[in-house]
Amino acid sequence: MGVKGSSSSSPPVVYLVLALAFNVAVLCNGGKTSSFVRKAEKTVDMPLDSDVFQVPPGYNAPQQVHITQGDHVGKAVIVSWVTVDEPGSNAVLYWSDNSKNKRRAEGHIKRYSYYTYKSGYIHHCTLRRLEYNTKYYYEVGLGNTTRQFSFMTPPAVGPDVPYTFGVIGDLGQTFDSNKTLTHYENNQLKGQAVLFIGDLSYADDYPNHDQVRWDTWARFVERSVAYQPWIWVAGNHELDYAPSIGEKIPFKPYTHRYHVPYKASGSTAPFWYSIKRASAHIIVLSSYSAYGKYTPQYNWLEEELPRVNRSETPWLIVLLHSPWYNSFNYHYMEGESMRVMFEPWFVQHKVDIVFAGHVHGYERSERISNIAYNIDNRNCTPVRDQSAPVYITIGDGGNIEGIASNLREPQPSYSAFREASFGHAILDIKNRTHAYYSWHRNDDGNPVEGDTVWFFNRYWHPVDDSTTK
């Protein structure tokens, strides 16, 4: 477009204006806000008689079967399930693919009451001394209706061991939730374990925190989590704190149903812990437990980060629920106090990636930090920092509360890509230096990648991997 009334002396002025505009864009605007527009429709729960919630046939048949890593290094698996008619056997029979010798492990049984609800018999059993990179079969429900499943153990921990993680958050049990899980299952990249970033059943969104919704959700996800471990993070919907109906113990249903190997990493509570898996050291933190100075979580993390051996596990990944960097108007700055406490440690120890949920959309940051600011200076804007992690918000599993579609404008400089859609991600670690990351929206076919980036390891290959300049 021409400038009306311009003269021969105007080009320098025009160039100056354009230069200033460009600099403002660089300083104030971020990366890409996706042009994809999701069809406006209400998020709806699947009916309780849906096949995904079906109770397995047979007397006292085990249901809600799920597994997670059972030790610090991947040589143990925690198997959990529920029986309804009677306690039944708490034992698990298991054997490797190349052996007929069946081993037996004994577990234990828990129950809990919540308002007017009484849980079934919740079983937890740890299978130990497993061989790496081996397929195992296991049976539960011994003596009544027996059900058989299988899983693969990870490769031995090592710096150049490839491994593929799925990443899912804020799932719930809607039709969109089912699309997310199906999309993940059909992904050609084939995740070997899931990093689950919190908010499981959304039982607390129903009247009196309807605990039946914990049962239906666990039956829904059994088709995946009975065969590959999901690494659990506690979100706000796991709190189930409801004094108005007499329920004053936070996390009661979650801690009874979902066990994690927190003691193996020296943690004092199941809400923060760490595991090693292949070439990754994964740290799980709790956004809804105390993290101020000298609290148990603070003390644990202060000791845990220096213990990470990047020559053994080069990829340092942190999972938490409430994002520290978020350019949606939903839950904006809710993670700020935790960021202030721990961000300097993340930069010091060169964390590669931080995954969060909570916001029901998708966003990926550049490597940025905001650790220079104090109460006296004006350095309060996040800056590019190649020692800092990339922050990924992936609370887009498909829950009943719907998609987060209200984004802050202009897009901040720290935000590389964002979109108001449901989906899942894949983190495909290749070796100690490179990992391929892709995000997949539910609305696309299986091969389509909505957002991709090659991550370069901060310890072994700290080359700039920015996708916006």
From first CA to last CA, the distance across the chain in angstroms is 27
Whether residue 298 contacts residue 292, with contact meaning beta carbons closer than 8 Å, is answered with yes
| Measured distance CA(438)–CA(55) in Å, rounded | 34
DSSP state, 199? -
Give the phi and the psi of residue 81 in degrees, each rounded to 5: -160, 170
HSE-up (13 A, CA, CB side) for residue 28? 9
| Measured distance CA(62)–CA(170) in Å, rounded | 26
Give the phi and the psi of residue 439 in degrees, each rounded to 5: -115, 140
Name residue, tokens 């400089």.
413
Cα–Cα distances (Å) from 302 to 163, 224, 270, 306, 349, in that order, read: 27, 34, 17, 8, 11
| Measured distance CA(346)–CA(101) in Å, rounded | 46
Check 237, 331, 358, 440 and give the catalytic one: 331
| Measured distance CA(390)–CA(466) in Å, rounded | 9
Whether residue 136 contacts residue 151, with contact meaning beta carbons closer than 8 Å, is answered with yes
> What is the residue type of 397?
G
| Measured distance CA(237)–CA(200) in Å, rounded | 7
| Measured distance CA(36)–CA(439) in Å, rounded | 14
HSE-up (13 A, CA, CB side) for residue 86? 9
Residues making up the chain, counted from first to last: 469
Determine whether 331 is an active site residue: yes
Cα 258–263–267 angle (5° rounding)? 100
390 token code pair = 């990339």
Sign of the Cα torsion 254, 257, 262, 268 reads positive
45 token code pair = 């729960």
Q: Which residues are catalytic?
A: 331
